[in-house]
Amino acid sequence: MTKVTQALGAWGERLAAAHLLATGMVLLDRNWRGAAGEIDIVARDGDTLVFCEVKTRRGATFGTPAEAVARAKVRRLRQLAAQWLAVSGIRPAEVRFDVVSVHAPRDADPVVEHLRGAF
């Protein structure tokens, strides 16, 4: 991954976090690292614990940001969520997995889409 790609991803995650906060969610963790990888955002939406994957794209050449969350990524995020829950000691009433897509074309304002219960 290039530095430009990393910077774009970090910028997208900041936009996603701001969007989630604006909808009333409470951020609990960002960029949490476990044995299988990283969880971008862990948040609380009322009584529901939400694990968010953030995908940022400049264009649609490789599909939409949400389409980049393939089966292997879903499996890995579920493993990471179990690890996060074990470490945190939190026992939520409900758990949800969301995807926040950031479309960031060079010639227009970014668009943030929040897919609740994406998988």
Residue 62 pLDDT > 80: no
Reported as a single tens digit per residue, the pLDDT across 36-52 is 899 999 999 999 999 99
Look up the CATH number of the domain holding residue 30: 3.40.1350.10
Instruction: Please determine, for residue 63, whether its predicted confidence score (pLDDT) is greater than 90.
Output: no
Task: Write down the mean pLDDT value for the chain.
Answer: 93
Residues 6 or more apart in contact with residue 73 via CB below 8 angstroms:
53
Give residues with Cβ within 8 angstroms of 5, minimum separation 6: none
The mean pLDDT value for 82-88 works out to 97
pTM over 0.95: no
Q: How many domains does the chain have?
A: 1
pLDDT at 117: 95
Q: Which domain holds residue 97?
A: 3-115
Spatial separation of the C-alpha atoms in residues 27 and 20, rounded to whole Å:
8
